[in-house]
Structure 1
Amino acid sequence: MAGTGTLLLNGSSVQSIGGTTTTTFNNITVTNNANPLSVQVQSNQNIRGILTLSSNTIFDADGSSGTSVFTLLSSDDEPAVVDAAIAALPSGAQVTGNVTVQRYMSIEGGSNSPAFDNGRIYRYISSPVAAPAVSQVQVFNPITGGFTGSSTCTGCNTNPSMFSYNETVTTDTNGSGTPDLNDGYEFFPVSSNTETLATGRGYAMFVWGNVPPVSTAGNATWAVRNQINAGTIDFVASAGVSFTAGNGLANDGWNLVGNPYPSTIDWDAASGWTKTGLDNTVYMKDNGAIAGTYATYVGGVGGTNGGSRYIPIGQAFWVKATSAPTFQATEAVKAPGSTTTFFRTSPPPDLMRVTLRNGPKRDEIIIYFDEEATEGFDGNLDAYKLNNDIFNLFTVTSTGDKLAINGLPMLECSKSLNLSITDVSVGAYQLDFTEFESFVTPVNIFLRDKKLGESVDIKTNPTYEFEVTAEESSYKDRFELTIVNTTLDPTLVVSSTTNGTSCKEGAVVISAEGAPVGGSYRWYENETGGLAIAGQTANEFVTPILEKSKTYYVSAVSPAGCEGARVPVMAEVVNYDEVVLTDLGNGTLSSSYESNNQWYKDGVLIPGATAQEYTPVESGVYKVEVSFGSCTTSAERTVAITGMGEDGPMGPVSFYPNPVDEVLTVKLGNKKWLDPVIVDMMGRELGALSMKPVDGGLIGTFNFKGHAPGIYLLKVSDRKGKLITNRIVKK
């Protein structure tokens, strides 16, 4: 019968299980309801599967002599696979007599757990049978202390190695500086190893993993024997579960309880639990391969660090009372054969898990959204953060509560949370983000690294590596997680935008209008997807230095964080060469640009002077300005122009009459001048004067007959390139 089958006992009279050798059964099912006894175990027998009784059946586990040993075997830390169990007892069903129930525990600790050495760690246990003596456990693991019957062994000491927990302690007994969960431990047993383990109470037991009998057995399996715990278990009456106020709600009401049944139990069982004045969370301390982390499970939500709805046989766990509690369980909470490996068949919606890793060490938190959750602590939906012996990762509520599991109100627009990290050593770490696929509402998830000033899209980069140094800023308040509902709000509209321009390379100022009162803006480099530009929430955005034009996008954001559609805004960069002003040598100035010119004299715009060239007719400072939209470039030159009135010469060059009807006479004060020329205002030459010597100088005439009235220029230059330009008015 040691295979995978089931022994069915369905007779109509008493049936016996016996023999000269011990048989290990897989499953046993009893439907025999003979009265007053259905089945008797008449010799030592084992079961490694599930004992199932139908209504009104009675299973006598130690036989008519009361000496048979019926053992529920446990051979691994995976209770779903290798823990024998007694299924829920229906109406009238009983298991009578003494039953031996094993709890396998591997030797843990050692080199992978620096806080402990040689497999010596604390494990947290409870009894699946009624009132077994401490001496029963001592057979398998030494229990030491100042009580009669303390274990003696090579490598042991006399320090207390087993503890119960007293919730009513409200003082800082361990000297940590804060009265908290760690202050209620009390020596157990107090006076003798005949003292018994209370039903439903949890105990902390030190495992001497490197000394016999644990070391010789190769594991820390222990067993207890007595009548099984069955029916309704009242944890207040049997295990002393209580609530004592004194140190603030987060530190009060902690009770170390345990699975009372010879079966895995289900914290989320559809019926069987009464939990009033009690949070909906299970906490378990794991001192195994990675020293001292708390596994946490919130009913109906999920667990961190391996926390599960399923609690194995012999496992102690923490619950937290918030007022005078009523805490009971019935047979209906049993879940024989159920696994503690998985949190649930499918994850709840709108949930994500964050894991902080350093080598093999890890700590997890859960963040999720629920329509019944609030921003504060909710006893049915949230879990407090209990400090690990390694580093700690948690979120903090607005009232300062540190949470390992944080349920938040349904996501409307966006939610930002700080990821708090404490108790880290220098080294390489990473944050892993998982299970965000569960979100029903389309979301974007961003991690902001405040130290480096960068943001990461978690959905495309779910692992973020970082270094912790001796600087506090390398971990404290460094990370902010933002979850954004990407469903656009059509009522949020950017009503207007203002493009900006930089003349040549530079920063550009662009702006938008339309966000509601109390709202803000998000600026993007992409029309869709991507992160908003960090720190830019005002209506005006100053771009970084740009070498060329670039389109940005802006959206309006409500005070609650809802976002409207993105609209484009242009940051224009106008690149151009500076204008060059050239004197063509004939009194005409020329711009290096063919178009977009405007000429000025002494800072005053010259109407109509927009050609590439311009010939000054008066002395002054001449400037050409070239426009490229709102950008301009300019250059200027000082021009000296001499002339004479009708009354006589005003220098080496004289001319008359001016204004002139037909013949203009020109006199040059010396013979070094070249023949003068007459040009129109377009720079076209009308002719040169033929000069004749006179009185040490030169004289000549020019006939304006046939030329239109207007302004003309007389240009005189010498052999050295000196040029004098004079304005002539033709009547």
Structure 2
Amino acid sequence: IDQEGWNLIGNPYVCSIDWDSIPVADKTAIDDAIWIWNATAGNYGLYVGGTGGIGTNDVGADIASSQSFWVHANDLNPQLTISEDAKSEADPRFVKSIEDKTNLKLRLESDENLYFDEAIVAWRNDATSQLDGKDGGKLYSTVSDAPSISFVQDSAFLSLNSLSVFMQYGSLPMQVLAGETGNHRISVMEMNNMANLPCLILEDIVLDSLIDLHQDTTYAFFHSVLYTGERFVLHVGQFYNGNQWERCSYVPNADYQEELTLGMDDLEASDIILYPNPVSNRLFVEMSDKISTTPVRIELLSITGAVLRSKSFSGNTNLNVGDLSAGVYLLRFINGKGDVILKKFVKN
């Protein structure tokens, strides 16, 4: 490691120490973070103080006895004081319970070898949405065939991108580097306290693809070692309407179940039949006799929650979907009482 400010030190005690138990005042002129080598991953793991025990590549707040770790100086005369109070009874070989935090951990792997890398986006009360001390910089591996994933903030590459809890929408560029050319995967490893966060969408700029991470937790793609740009963007609280990104309300469709019924009294899933499904051109909507005279609003949604078109009708109807790209879509039915049904269909 030849970057300025990097210092390799070790845990001097015969037991583990807890990085979060070391007061910030004892971390003079250094980042509140540690980097530890993970030979299995072929990458360094990162833990940033106050993150709640969650780090990348199996690194957390606990540092094993005699474990070497890197710290980064950010000013002159750096100093780290590790007192007896920092000793921990936890064994870092075991998973430590974590605090109630909001975060997303992504892992990058390939079919070419067993190496992997991880990156985290976390929401904190004490963080800003700009580059600050709550972020964790990327320490690149010296293993040439190991993959690399990081967020990009103000031209800095981050293994952990901490955001203000007040940031409910935005776009986070990502750098994904292949160690070897071949098939790769980005997978959601952890998604904590994010069920109500609307629209969590991974955009593949190269393939012009949008992946809803609330529903598809793994995305497979081919990647070359020659591509070093920012191929991916993580969009939070936004959807693409065909022209621009807008704030959205997330439409759940867990496990791609055939239909979801939410708060329905008079409107029931069995009252509506879609055919043919899959469909190539015209999709027919057949209503049961019970609701054949009830005014209903129908909305055609993309799988990322964008409303593509809508209409109101009574009785049976049909939709021309021949112009849609192949993929999965939703129809949302709403009656005058506000009862809602979601139906899924597949466009060939």
- Of the three residues 197, 214, 224, the one matched with 1:442 is 197
Match of 1:129 in 2: none
Q: How does 1:553-568 map to 2 (within 5 A)?
A: none
Structure 2, unaligned runs of 5 or more: 254-279, 286-297, 321-348
Counterpart residue type for residue 322 of structure 1: N
1:257 deviates by: 1.2
Match of 1:632 in 2: none
Label 1:463 to 1:335 Cα distance change in 2 as closer, same or farther (>3 A). Answer: same
CA distance in 2, matches of 1:401, 1:483: 20
Does residue 1:394 correspond to 2:150, yes or no?
Answer: yes
1:385 deviates by: 0.3
Match of 1:463 in 2: 218
Does residue 1:299 correspond to 2:49, yes or no?
Answer: yes
Label 1:330 to 1:450 Cα distance change in 2 as closer, same or farther (>3 A). Answer: same
Label 1:417 to 1:405 Cα distance change in 2 as closer, same or farther (>3 A). Answer: same
Match of 1:368 in 2: 122
Counterpart residue type for residue 368 of structure 1: A
Label 1:346 to 1:275 Cα distance change in 2 as closer, same or farther (>3 A). Answer: same
CA distance in 2, matches of 1:411, 1:341: 33
SS of match in other structure, 2:85: helix
1:419 deviates by: 2.2
Counterpart residue type for residue 50 of structure 2: G
1:355 deviates by: 0.1
- Tell me if structure 1 keeps the 8 A contact 2:238–2:247: no
1:371 deviates by: 2.5
Match of 2:160 in 1: 405
Match of 1:480 in 2: 233
Q: How does 1:24-39 map to 2 (within 5 A)?
A: none
1:435 deviates by: 2.0
Name the count of aligned residue pairs: 265
Match of 2:98 in 1: 346
Structure 1, unaligned runs of 5 or more: 1-181, 184-250, 487-510, 512-518, 531-544, 555-562, 576-731
SS of match in other structure, 1:303: coil
Label 1:312 to 1:413 Cα distance change in 2 as closer, same or farther (>3 A). Answer: closer
Counterpart residue type for residue 21 of structure 2: A
Match of 1:161 in 2: none
- Of the three residues 237, 249, 265, the one matched with 2:17 is 265
- Of the three residues 293, 296, 316, the one matched with 2:68 is 316
1:284 deviates by: 1.3
- Tell me if structure 1 keeps the 8 A contact 2:169–2:247: no
Counterpart residue type for residue 102 of structure 2: D
SS of match in other structure, 1:461: coil
- Tell me if structure 2 keeps the 8 A contact 1:412–1:485: no
Label 1:552 to 1:450 Cα distance change in 2 as closer, same or farther (>3 A). Answer: farther
Match of 1:429 in 2: 184
Normalised to the residue count of structure 2, the TM-score between the two structures is: 0.65
CA distance in 1, matches of 2:150, 2:159: 5
1:273 deviates by: 6.8
1:259 deviates by: 1.0
CA distance in 1, matches of 2:7, 2:205: 39
Counterpart residue type for residue 357 of structure 1: E
Q: Which has the higher contact order (CA 8 A, sep 6+)?
A: 2
- Tell me if structure 1 keeps the 8 A contact 2:129–2:163: yes
1:457 deviates by: 1.5
1:603-648 deviations in Å (ceiling 9; x for gaps): xxxxxxxxxxxxxxxxxxxxxxxxxxxxxxxxxxxxxxxxxxxxxx
Match of 1:418 in 2: 173
SS of match in other structure, 2:172: strand
CA distance in 1, matches of 2:236, 2:87: 38
> Would you tell me which structure has more strand in proportion to its own residues?
2
Match of 2:207 in 1: 452
Label 1:408 to 1:358 Cα distance change in 2 as closer, same or farther (>3 A). Answer: same
- Tell me if structure 1 keeps the 8 A contact 2:135–2:158: yes
- Tell me if structure 2 keeps the 8 A contact 1:441–1:485: no
Label 1:283 to 1:437 Cα distance change in 2 as closer, same or farther (>3 A). Answer: closer
Does residue 1:569 correspond to 2:310, yes or no?
Answer: yes
CA distance in 1, matches of 2:170, 2:104: 13
CA distance in 2, matches of 1:345, 1:445: 25
Give percent identity, aligned residues only. Answer: 25
Match of 1:332 in 2: 85
- Tell me if structure 1 keeps the 8 A contact 2:31–2:73: yes
- Tell me if structure 2 keeps the 8 A contact 1:273–1:329: no
Match of 1:382 in 2: 135
1:375 deviates by: 2.9
1:357 deviates by: 0.8
- Tell me if structure 2 keeps the 8 A contact 1:451–1:478: yes
SS of match in other structure, 1:313: coil
1:348-394 deviations in Å (ceiling 9; x for gaps): 42201000012421100111111321233322x21110111222110
Label 1:392 to 1:523 Cα distance change in 2 as closer, same or farther (>3 A). Answer: closer
Normalised to the residue count of structure 1, the TM-score between the two structures is: 0.33
Label 1:547 to 1:289 Cα distance change in 2 as closer, same or farther (>3 A). Answer: closer
- Tell me if structure 1 keeps the 8 A contact 2:8–2:70: yes
CA distance in 1, matches of 2:116, 2:158: 16
Label 1:520 to 1:361 Cα distance change in 2 as closer, same or farther (>3 A). Answer: closer
1:95-121 deviations in Å (ceiling 9; x for gaps): xxxxxxxxxxxxxxxxxxxxxxxxxxx
CA distance in 2, matches of 1:413, 1:421: 24
- Tell me if structure 2 keeps the 8 A contact 1:272–1:332: no
- Tell me if structure 1 keeps the 8 A contact 2:175–2:230: yes
CA distance in 1, matches of 2:229, 2:185: 15
1:300-352 deviations in Å (ceiling 9; x for gaps): 2121111121111111111112123342121111124532443x412542201
CA distance in 2, matches of 1:523, 1:439: 16
Label 1:450 to 1:328 Cα distance change in 2 as closer, same or farther (>3 A). Answer: same
CA RMSD of aligned residues (A): 3.8
CA distance in 1, matches of 2:238, 2:35: 32
CA distance in 2, matches of 1:393, 1:366: 10
